[in-house]
Structures are given as C-alpha cells and as structure tokens.
Amino acid sequence: MDLRRIAVAVIGGGVILLVSATSSFSEGKAMDGDSFYFLDTSVVTPSRYAEPLLSASSTVMVISHQAIRERGYRDLVDVLEDLPGFDIQRRIGGQDGGSYVIGRGLWGNNKIQVLMDGVPINPQNGTHLVYGRHISVDGLERIEVMYGPGSAVYGANAFAGVINLITRSPKSGKVSGEARLQGGKHDTVLGHLLLEKRFGDRGDAHLYFNGYRSTGFDMRREYQEHTIDNGFGVETPIYDPDMPYETPEQDYDMRFKAHLGGWELMLMYWYTRQPNNIQTPYYTGRTQMEKDKAELRTFDGVLRNILDLGGRFTLESEWLWQFYELDPTSDYGRLTFDNYVYERSRSFRWEERGRYSLGEDVVTGGVSVQRVSAFPYINTRKSFDRGDEVEKCIVDAIGFPSGLVVSGVKREEEDYWNYGIYGEFFHWFAKDLNLRVGVRYDWTTLTSTSSLNPRISLTYLLDPRQRIRLSYGTAYISPSLYFLKKAWAGSTIVHLPPDLLGEDLESEKIQSWELAYSLTRERFVIDVSAYYNYARDLIIESAGREEGFSVYFGNGSEARDVVAEFPKNAGSQTSVGVDVMAKYRFSRLWSLYLYYSYVNDRIDFAGGEFDAPKVSNHKAGGGITGLLLDGLTCHLRFRWWSGINTTPMNPLYEGGRIKGHMVMDAALRWSNLFTRGLDLVVTINNLLNTEYFTAGSQSEDHRAGASLPKIPQEPREVLLGLEYRF
C-alpha cells in the first residue's frame, strides 16, 4: 500500500464540486478535472443559451457529475441541502411535497422552476411541485441552480430561482452506461439503469430509469420518547402507539433522449407515491395507513429543432407537451371516512427563440404560446371517476351567514391560453465591463391579466481573478386554476374558491437586488452574494377565514356553522440575506468547502409583522472528500441550522421556533472492486442518528388546525450497493 495515497478524512467534507456563477476566474484550467467551475465555464440556465459564467446575470451554482457520484446524492433535495440559501423540510408527505424547499426565504413549493434540459417539471396548472425521490440526479452531466427571479426569460413561476437538470451526452459509438442497485433497512430498495450510444457525428440516444421503494420509518418507535400537548393540557405521544403507522413510498422516473442532426426528442415520465397524514396527529381523526397516500404522475415530451443560419444567427423551435394527474384513488383518509382528492392538467406550448451575435454583443428574443386544459383540485367521499366531473364533488351547496345559498358548486375542466414575448441585449463596454438588459411581457386568458418583468445586470472585472456584479430583476406567479378553483370540505371547515366570496386574486410579484463578489487564488476561492427581496400580493390559501357557513354535501348530509377559508392576496414579504461559499484545496488528495447563509425574512400580514415561517435565520454546512486508499474515496458533510421560525400563533417552541440541529451524512465509494467498472457504494444519512424536527407545510399549531407543529425527521439510514459502469 502506498502511504502517499492515504488521506485523512476530516469531519464535514466533500470535494470542491460546487461553484457559483460568482465563482473563480482562471486561465480555463480546473484544479482537479471537472470538480471546479470557473467564470469561463459555459452555462445555459440564466439566458437559455450557452454563455460563460463570467457574463451570467444571476448567481448560478454548478454541481458536476463527479460531485453527484462522490457525494452519494440520490435526488434533487440531497443536492439542495448541500447549497447555501435553502431551507429544507423533509418528510412533509402527500401533495404538499415529499419535501418542502424554500429558496432565500421565499416559501412555497411553487416558487422555483425545475427543468430537465430546459423542459419544466412543475405541473402547468400551478399546483405545488412534489420534491420526492423521483427527481433523481443520476445520469446527469451537471445541475445548474440559478438564484433569484427568472421571469424575464422563463415567464411565470420562476419566482425564487430556476434549477436545470442537464443530462449527459453519449461520447462512445458503443453501447455504454451504468447500473446501480442499493438496499437498506425498512425494505428500502433503489437503483437506476442508464444506456447511451452515439451514432456517428450527427446522432445519439440516451435511456434512463430510476426507482425507489421503501416501507418507511416507523416514527412511533423512533420517537416514542417524545410527546406533545394535545391541546387540552395533556402530554400525549406524537403518534398513537396503538394505531397502525404505515407510510410506504414509491418513486419512479424515466427518460429517453435522442439527437439527429439539429433535431432533439425527449420523453420523460415522473411518478411518486407519497404517504399522506404524516404531519397530522392521531387525535384529529386522521390515520397513518398504507391507503392514505397521494399518487402523482407527470409525462413530459419535447421536440426541438436548432437552425444555424450563417454562424451569427441561430433559431430554435420547441414544442412541449405535459400531462399531469393526481390519481383519483389518492386518499386523504380519516378514521371514520375517506377523502379522495383529484386534479389534472394537460398543456401544449410552442416557442421560438432566436440569437444574433455581432462580435461580443449578443441579442436574443422569443415568443411563447401555451394552451392549458385543467380540472381543478377537489375532494370526494368516494373514489373519483375520471368521467364524472361534477356529480361527485363533495360540496353541493354553500349557505352564507347572510342566509344566501349558492348551489351547484361545479368543478369542471377549463381551457385557457398563456402568451409571452421577450428579448435581451448583452454588451461589453470594455474588456472589464459588461451590461445585460432584458424584459418579458406575459398575458393569460385565465384572469385576463398581464405582467411585465425586466432584469438588468452590470459586471466589472477588477482583475482576471476578481469580479463584482450588481443585478436587479422581477418575477411573478399568476393566479392559477389551482388557487382560483380549488374546493374541499370537512365537517368543521370548508375551502372555497375566492370568487364565491367576492375576492379577486392578483399575481404574486417580487423585486430583487443582488450584489455579488468573487475572489480566486491558486488554492482558495470565496464567493459572496448579498441580496434584498421584496415580494407583495402573496397568495395565502387560508388567509381569509370566516365563520357561520353551512355546507350541504352531495350525499344529503350537512354541516352548520363551519369555518370557510379561501385564498387571498395577503400581505408582503421582505428578505435581506447573505450567502457565502469558500473552497480550499489542500492537495491532490482532498479538498474542503464551507458555506454560510444568513437571512432576515419578515412577513407583513393582516396588520402584523413576524418572521417568515419554516425559515432558519442562520445556516451553515461544509464537507471534505479524501482518497483513503487506492480507489477508496470517502465523503463526509455536515449541515447546521438555527431555530426554524413558526407562525405567531405557535407558542410551543422557544418563542415560536423549532430547535435547530446539526446533521451529518457520509458516502463511500470503492472503485474497480474485483474488476474494472465495478464499484462498491455505501451512503449513510443522518450518520449520528440525530433526533430532530422540522416545520410542517400547513398549520403549525395543532390546537388551531389538523397539523403537527413539528414533524419528526428520519433517523440514521445505511444503504449498501453495487454500481457497474460499462
């Protein structure tokens, strides 16, 4: 054994594989292959065409294929936990999202646009994106995470940022790929298969499948020492030890991509089966059983054609299809009855984009036309029939406190159109100063409203190793059918469309300023981003609450004096923060990175002001990767966060906060074990088996609603497997 190849593993670790757009500038050479990204590295997410990070208008972090492998990332949430600026609440469950992902304090799982090679994964009806294990990251060339508003290029929903998962391109004329299979406790099995091949100089094909299945952790046993006030002054277990606790999860994703000349075809399928009721205590009448689940599926297809017209001008045509459905057997169950939930949408989008280069100056622009056909969210007491769109709706009529009765609360499919036009200009004033100016105009027939979103950035090179950038941008989220027509009812509360109560919804809007600085030395890199966000007209689903309503159900029963809630533009949000990423390479054998995020995030709502919920003011993390033996790489990382803010009505935890913690993960890879291409892979999540809690996505005071104020998180998990590359 060559002692010179032994490295010491230091707590916290990881190869320096994460670099932001405010990253280092060099003569184009990375310190350790594809582990570092520099300002001359090409990215596509900020402007939808390849450009160096040097001229990007936003902070972009790039996660390489090598980083994904060595760190043991399985899905997108694993990656985001290792980046500054993100608050992650795992194991939320159901259609609220497998995990709750908040970028720079802007909470809501509809605030970030997630793309696969530029194709949106988010449901086009405006519902929340579920961050489950079906958004896997194996088989990717890299991941680009863009911080800040992106509506000047992407239109609606690119509110807090844009994430682009970029697939690998085959490089060999032979069939190549990889296969992995891992398993662990609680019947957990996961794996993926990738096949790819080049066909001469003009064509290639890429086929990928990923699957995950687990019976889930039994939180009754893992957290049996923890109790909670049941609202009547009695401490009770979080989950009843005498009731079933069944929370299995299944996730699949598949994709096929093929190139031929200037044409590209992509077909993608996403499926997740999330357990429901994880964040609800048993004494509210909810259950935690296998039947209580949300099944969601999304199919995306895209056909692209790129024409190079003389070298200076390129034209890209794109046709996108999406079908999204919340399965009609999805059950938000209770002890005494079942609540089935359903929604779906179909969309088609045609877009034309052009790019003209004149020396170093670049002009881009495009037009977009989209048709959406969507059936809004409802619940029923019987499994929903896809062909029955009205009769089984749970609410037959609503009696208002004034005595007015509105009958026939219909839920039926609606069609609408979205139109967009945008343009951008990039110009170098001198070799050390550049300017980018862009704007996009959007209009939708759903609400007959429009939105105009500009962005501007100014970048100055202090020297070849230092850069400073000042940028401004806006974004919006248009009121979607999800918010406009969503309806459900229980025995004590009913959720109504806002128009029934005389409320009109405006678009959510945000303005963002950012100042970013980068410094690079031979072994050391530091990136600092300071930002200010102001968001207004935020749509809060339960913002309006009124009492005294009567609900008449389709089965002939009724409930009197219930509370009616409805979405409303309720207040504004201001966030000021700093993200810092520092990287240091000690030797050829190991490297270190550390990050820190601070955000002061305040909500102005109903005449009061409070800290934004589900957000920690301070977050830090880091990691190191070292070569322990010939072929054996060890990766250790940690993440720490301060107390998680809750709502003002939650008096239970440290002045309205859930206690913060530090969690560690580890990954081992022994390459070329026994034979070339065969790797032993071990991933350990929550290495120290820390017991900790996070905030739910709904009410955070169980005495006022049906949700736990804190949700227990998963204990230590060890997954052992093999990967074969061929």
| Range with lowest mean pLDDT among 30-34, 42-46, 93-97 | 30-34
Question: Could you tell me the residue ranges of all domains in the chain?
Answer: 3-725
What pLDDT, on the 0 to 100 scale, is given for residue 545? 67
> Rounded to the nearest 5°, which phi and psi values hold at 11?
-55, 135
Q: What is the DSSP string of 605-635?
A: ETTEEEEPTT-BSEEEEEEEEEEEETTEEEE
Whether 494 contacts 395, CB under 8 Å: yes
What pLDDT, on the 0 to 100 scale, is given for residue 653? 62
What pLDDT, on the 0 to 100 scale, is given for residue 651? 61
Q: What b/e sequence results for 386-398 when a residue is b if at least 16 CB atoms lie within 10 Å of its CB, and e otherwise? A: eeebeebbbbbeb
Query: pTM, whole model, 2 decimals?
Result: 0.91
Among 130, 80, 138, CA closest to 273:
130
Output 607 or 675, whichever has higher pLDDT. 675
Please tell me the total number of residues recorded for the chain in this structure: 726
- Which of 72-86, 273-287, 532-546, 550-564 tops mean pLDDT? 72-86
Q: Strands 433-444 and 176-184: what pairing?
A: unpaired
Among 290, 186, 291, 277, CA closest to 239:
277
CA distances from 113 to 118, 150, 321, 534 (A): 10, 9, 16, 19
Element (H, E) at 70: helix 65-71
Output 585 or 588, whichever has higher pLDDT. 585
Sort 701 into a burial class: Cβ within 10 Å, 0-12 / 13-18 / 19+: middle
Alpha carbons 636 and 341: distance in angstroms, whole number:
41
Identify residue 478 by its one-letter amino acid code: S
Identify residue 486 by its one-letter amino acid code: K
Q: What b/e sequence results for 98-124 when a residue is b if at least 16 CB atoms lie within 10 Å of its CB, and e otherwise? A: bbbbbbbbbbbbbbbbbbbbbbbbbbb
Q: In which band, very low, low, confident or very high, does the pLDDT at 544 lie, cut at 50, 70 and 90?
A: low
Q: Is the pLDDT of residue 684 over 50?
A: yes
| Range with lowest mean pLDDT among 10-14, 514-518, 587-591, 629-633 | 10-14
Alpha carbons 270 and 410: distance in angstroms, whole number:
30
CATH number among 2.40.37.10, 2.40.170.20, 3.40.50.1950, 3.30.365.10, domain 3-725: 2.40.170.20
What pLDDT, on the 0 to 100 scale, is given for residue 81? 94
| Range with lowest mean pLDDT among 23-32, 524-533, 535-544, 641-650 | 23-32
> Rounded to the nearest 5°, which phi and psi values hold at 67?
-60, -45
What pLDDT, on the 0 to 100 scale, is given for residue 270? 96
| pLDDT, average across residues 605-610 | 79
Q: What is the pLDDT of residues 431-479, one digit of tens each?
A: 889 999 999 999 999 999 999 999 999 999 888 788 899 999 999 998 8
End-to-end CA distance of the chain: 27
Among 670, 663, 658, CA closest to 627:
670
> Rounded to the nearest 5°, which phi and psi values hold at 160?
-100, -10
Q: Is the pLDDT of residue 487 over 80?
A: no
**Contacts (Cβ under 8 Å, ≥6 apart) of 497:** 484, 485, 486, 487, 566
| Range with lowest mean pLDDT among 142-151, 391-400, 609-618, 667-676 | 391-400
Percentage of the chain exceeding pLDDT 70:
87
Alpha carbons 35 and 18: distance in angstroms, whole number:
8
| pLDDT, average across residues 251-268 | 95
Alpha carbons 621 and 82: distance in angstroms, whole number:
7
What pLDDT, on the 0 to 100 scale, is given for residue 408? 58
* Residue that is written with structure tokens 């001359």 in the block: 40
The alpha carbon of residue 389 and the mean position of all alpha carbons in its chain are separated, in whole angstroms, by 31
What pLDDT, on the 0 to 100 scale, is given for residue 393? 57
Q: Is the pLDDT of residue 306 over 90?
A: yes
Whether 664 contacts 637, CB under 8 Å: yes
CA distances from 276 to 92, 248, 638 (A): 8, 10, 29
Give the chain's mean pLDDT. 84
E-only strand ranges, 521-617: 524-536, 539-553, 558-569, 572-585, 590-605, 608-611
Identify residue 642 by its one-letter amino acid code: S
Structure tokens given for 591: 């490297």
Alpha carbons 326 and 298: distance in angstroms, whole number:
9
Q: Strands 249-260 and 235-237: what pairing?
A: unpaired
Q: What is the DSSP string of 408-448?
A: ------EEEEEEEEEEEEEEEEETTEEEEEEEEEEEETTTT
**Contacts (Cβ under 8 Å, ≥6 apart) of 215:** 186, 187, 188, 246, 247, 248
What pLDDT, on the 0 to 100 scale, is given for residue 192? 96
Output 459 or 409, whichever has higher pLDDT. 459
- Which of 31-45, 399-413, 495-509 tops mean pLDDT? 495-509
Q: Is the pLDDT of residue 648 over 90?
A: no
Whether 644 contacts 695, CB under 8 Å: yes
**Contacts (Cβ under 8 Å, ≥6 apart) of 706:** 280, 281, 284, 286, 698, 699
| pLDDT, average across residues 611-636 | 91
The CA-based angle 714-719-725, given to 5 degrees, is 140
How does DSSP classify residue 286?
Answer: B
| pLDDT, average across residues 489-494 | 73
Alpha carbons 248 and 423: distance in angstroms, whole number:
47
What pLDDT, on the 0 to 100 scale, is given for residue 10? 28
Q: What is the pLDDT of residues 321-371, one digit of tens each?
A: 999 999 988 988 777 778 888 889 999 999 999 999 988 899 999 999 999
What is the Cβ-side half-sphere exposure of residue 615, based on CA atoms within 13 angstroms? 27
Among 154, 168, 80, CA closest to 122:
154
Q: Is the pLDDT of residue 282 over 80?
A: no
Rounded to whole angstroms, the maximal C-alpha distance in the chain is 86
Among 104, 194, 101, CA closest to 619:
104
| pLDDT, average across residues 64-75 | 89
What pLDDT, on the 0 to 100 scale, is given for residue 34? 42
Whether 603 contacts 609, CB under 8 Å: yes
What pLDDT, on the 0 to 100 scale, is given for residue 15? 29
Q: What is the pLDDT of residues 228-245, one digit of tens each?
A: 776 677 777 877 777 788
Q: Which of left, alpha, beta for 583 (phi over 0: left; psi -120 to 50: alpha)?
A: beta
